[in-house]
Each structure stands twice: as structure tokens, then as C-alpha cells.
Amino acid sequence: MKKIAACACLAWAGLGFLPQTAGLAQAATPIQHWTQPGGAQVYLVPSPGIPMLDVQLDFDAGDRRDPAAQAGLAGVTAMMAGKGVAAQGTAPALDENRLGEAWADLGASFGADAGTDRMSFRLRTLTDPALLKQAVALAARQIAAPSFPAEVWQRERQRLAASIREARTRPGTVAGIAYEHAVYGNHPYGFETTPETLAAISVQDMQRFYAGHVQPCRAKVSLVGAVTRPEADALVRELLAGLPAQAGCAPLPPVPEVQPLTAARQIDIPFQSAQAHVLIGQPGYPRSDPDHLALTLGNYILGGGGFVSRLTTQVREKRGLSYSVYSHFSPGLHAGAFTVSLQTRPDQAAEAVAVARQVLADFVAGGPTDAEVKAAQDNLVNGFPLLLDSNAKLLGNVANIAWNNLPLDYLDTWTARMQRITAADIKAAFARKLDPQRMVTVVVGAQPAGG
């Protein structure tokens, strides 16, 4: 569930899906794209070498569509969509147990989840004709007629509420909640799922949310596997056939943009813990921003590259103030946060914060060196192919291209574009996006001065 725990990203996490896409850039990856009469946009990469198919269907039905008083609505709607299927014609209803057994019998998998911006359904199946036909038919039923059983929602709501209460006893969770409230303000990116917001969500609310957002005309469907274009087109039509057809596709209400911070703010939260948890940052940029690649490369140098980053060198290696420290951008349809994160001894928190802020300020003011840029480019470009060893990973890249309306040759040109970025490009991009004098700093569990 959203906001239950603070991000515990690894060094690659700040790069979004680009670590995967760069590997693909080593060889041509032709993506076929077309729009069906009902409005669904389809993206296909045929991969005949393995008799498998991976499919992802994305809808504008993520957390950004949650009402404030019902934070978590998108996430629980996606979760409950897998808890049972209503009867359809001669096909009987399936409860969650029978639905799970049906998928197990097929040796296939299907599920849904909601992220910050989108609700995604994922199907994985063998392409043996008999199995594929049954898997697609079952997935189509699940998309068309989730039953949203009330008794299961009561159980799941209690379980989720208990998980949230338990998570609030951890300093990382406390820090993450305070940080997102401060960075995002009233934007949906900062809404917190609580036992109270879950209590405000009914089965009827989930049904209305699902019907209003999961529609054929709003679908972006990505496929990677051993199917041809005609087969893929027919398969997508079947997956979406049970959803009500729309006369036109009226746009969803606009979501406001994340507002920039106007001043620096420090939030100190007392907490009895062995480590102080520190988060420093501000709103960053949306994924559509043309500075994305320069910011990706620059962040690798600043704090996304693990032991080769400036933050690690200054905070960990030279001063021993933290075992790990990293930075990352979280671009989405809106300006996701830029965040520096570290943990340190409570009595060292003030010093660790001061050093991290100084490293950040120096980087924004001066940018990287040419040597740092070359080393980062080599690491990123040469290391990415190791992250592309399955159709499922390929699918994630294709789905991100579809979702973000990127050029179809994005994967093939990524390496060349990354290698053209200069130190001056990175310095200018960071200066446009970050202001170290207007950042939020959250510290949970620091030892008071003189304590």
C-alpha cells in the first residue's frame, strides 16, 4: 500500500526504467504500434524465440486519481479486481480461491496493481494455442467483470489497516509520510493512505472508480512474445471486449501540477531508534521534461551510482557518517520528488545533513567534471545489457515508452543520446530543476543538541 514505508531504493532505482532501455539500445528493437477502432493503443515487440507472451495493459487510474478523503482507492481497486469474477452467461462466478486455481491450472499468471500514475494489468502465458486461448479468455473475464466481494473487502481492509498501524511504528515510515506531505502539499502524490481513508472506501466506490477509468478507449497495451501483429490485435480485442464500449472518450478531469516549494523547511521528529532517518528534497520534474537524460546521468554522478557517487564519497567514505546515502529523481506525469536519503547515528544527524546539503549545493552550482561524466556514461551504457535477460523486462521498457509517449526508436537511440551529454548540459539541467535553498529536510530520530 502507498505510503506504508519510505523508499529503500538501490543505486539503480533513481534511473527509472532507463537501466533497462539502454541495454536494448545495443541492437535494433522494432516496436510496432497501432490504434484499434475502439481507441486502445497497442505496442508490440515480436519475440519468437521463446513460446511465451507477456502483456501489460495500462490505464490512467493510479494514485493521482484518488480523492483526498479516500486515499488508497486506486490501489485497493486494483487489488480487489483479483479477488473474484462475477458470473457471465454460462460461465459461473469464481471466488478468489477458484480464480487462483484456474490460473495455476493454466500455468499462467494475471494480476493488477496501481502505481502513482497508472493501473496496470499483467498477463504471462505460454503461447501453446490451447493454453493461450484459455488464458486470454480468463484474463478477459477478470478485466470485464471483477466481483469486488464485500466480505473479502472487509477482511482486506482490516489487514491493510493493521499493516499501516504497524508501519507507523517504524522511523522510516514516519519520515516518508512527513516528507511526502511537505514536498507535495495538497497534490495527490502526497496523499496518505490511512485506516480512516480505507474506512471511507466502499465496494460501490471501487466499482464506480473501475468503471470510470478502465475503458477500452483509455488502454495502452504492450505485448512482447511469440505472436504476430494480427494475433496480437485479435488478442487485445478479446481482452477488452467485455468492457462497456464508449461513445467517444471524454477526457478525464485534469490533475493539478505539483507546486514548487517557496522556502526551505526542516522537520525534526523525535523518535527512539538506533538510526536517524534523513530525507532531503523538493519537487523535481515530470517524465516528459527534455532534461530527463541529462538529469539521469547527473544523478548517477551525484548519488545514484552507489560507491562511485559524490554523496557516498563525502558522507560515507571520507567521514563515516552513513553506511549508505543516495539520491534519485521520481518523474511521473507530474513532477515527482528529487530526494537525498540516508541513515546515520542520532548524534551525527546534524553533521550528516550539513555535509549532504553541501555536496548537493556544490554539484548544482558547479556541475560534474568531464572525467565524472565519461565514467558515468561508460558504466551506464556498458552495464545495462545485464538487466535485459527476459521478455518481462523488455515488456517493462515497451510499456514505459507507450505510457510516456516516447518515440518508437527510443531504445535504439538511447546510447547515442546519452553519450552526447556533456558536463555543461548536466550543470544547466540541475540548475533549472533544483534549488538547494528551497528544500525540505526531514530528520526522524536525531539526538537533540546537548543530549
Q: What's the pLDDT tens digit per position in 75-104?
A: 999 999 999 999 999 999 999 999 999 999
Indicate the average pLDDT of the chain.
Answer: 92
Instruction: Determine the pLDDT at residue 351.
Output: 98
Between the alpha carbon of residue 385 and those of residues 18, 75, 377, 394, the distances in Å are 11, 32, 14, 11
pLDDT at 15 > cutoff 60: no
CA distance 185 to 191: 9
Instruction: Determine the pLDDT at residue 450.
Output: 57
Nearest to 163 by CA among 153, 151, 171, 173: 173
Supply the pTM of this predicted model.
0.92
Amino acid at 83: K
Walk me through the domains of the chain, giving residue ranges and CATH numbers: 39-240 (3.30.830.10), 265-444 (3.30.830.10)
CA distance 236 to 232: 6
Instruction: Determine the pLDDT at residue 402.
Output: 98
Q: What is the mean pLDDT of residues 197-211?
A: 98
Q: What is the mean pLDDT of residues 179-195?
A: 98
User: Which grid coordinates belong to 127?
Assistant: 503461447
Determine phi and psi for 145, rounding to 5 degrees: -140, 60
pLDDT at 388 > cutoff 70: no
Instruction: Determine the pLDDT at residue 246.
Output: 75
Nearest to 325 by CA among 353, 361, 364, 365: 353
Amino acid at 289: D
Instruction: Determine the pLDDT at residue 318.
Output: 97
Q: What is the mean pLDDT of residues 310-334?
A: 97
User: CB–CB of 164/72 below 8 Å?
Assistant: no
Residue 224, burial from CB neighbour count under 10 angstroms (0-12, 13-18, 19+): buried
Q: Which residue has the cell 460501490?
A: 204
CA distance 451 to 440: 24
For 229, the enclosing helix (H) or strand (E) is: helix 229-240
CA distance 198 to 66: 12
pLDDT at 289 > cutoff 80: yes
DSSP of 186-218, one letter per residue?
TSGGG----HHHHHT--HHHHHHHHHHH--GGG
Query: Helices 292-299 and 423-433, interaxial angle, to 10°?
Result: 100
Q: What's the pLDDT tens digit per position in 223-273?
A: 999 999 999 999 999 999 999 887 778 899 999 999 999 999 999 999 999
Instruction: Determine the pLDDT at residue 391.
Output: 87
**With bands split at pLDDT 50, 70 and 90, how would you rate the model's confidence at 48?**
very high
What secondary structure letter does DSSP report for 121?
E
Q: What is the mean pLDDT of residues 346-350?
A: 97
For 110, the enclosing helix (H) or strand (E) is: strand 109-114
Q: What is the mean pLDDT of residues 342-360?
A: 98
pLDDT > 70: percent of the chain: 92
Contacts 24+ apart (CB under 8 A), 323-327: 325/356, 326/9, 326/10, 326/11, 326/13, 326/14, 327/14, 327/299, 327/302, 327/303, 327/360
| Structure-model confidence comparison of residues 250 and 330, the more confident one | 330
Instruction: Determine the pLDDT at residue 386.
Output: 62
Q: Which residue has the cell 502524490?
A: 189
Q: How far is CA 82 from the centre of its chain?
A: 20
Instruction: Determine the pLDDT at residue 449.
Output: 66
Instruction: Determine the pLDDT at residue 421.
Output: 98
What secondary structure letter does DSSP report for 14?
G
Q: How far is CA 193 from the centre of its chain?
A: 17
**Per-residue b or e along 378-399, where b marks 16 or more CB atoms closer than 10 Å to that residue's CB:** eebbeebeebbeebebbbbbbb
Q: Which residue has the cell 473474484?
A: 84
Instruction: Determine the pLDDT at residue 45.
Output: 95
Instruction: Determine the pLDDT at residue 131.
Output: 98
Q: Which residues pair with 46 in a beta bridge?
A: 225
Amino acid at 393: K
Residue 218 CB-half CA count within 13 A: 21
pLDDT at 12 > cutoff 70: no
What secondary structure letter does DSSP report for 316?
I
Instruction: Determine the pLDDT at residue 29.
Output: 76
pLDDT at 16 > cutoff 60: no
Q: What's the pLDDT tens digit per position in 188-201?
A: 999 999 999 999 99
Q: What's the pLDDT tens digit per position in 392-408?
A: 888 999 999 999 999 99
Contacts of 38 (CB under 8 A, 6+ apart): 216, 217, 237, 240, 245, 246
CA distance 317 to 328: 20
pLDDT at 314 > cutoff 50: yes
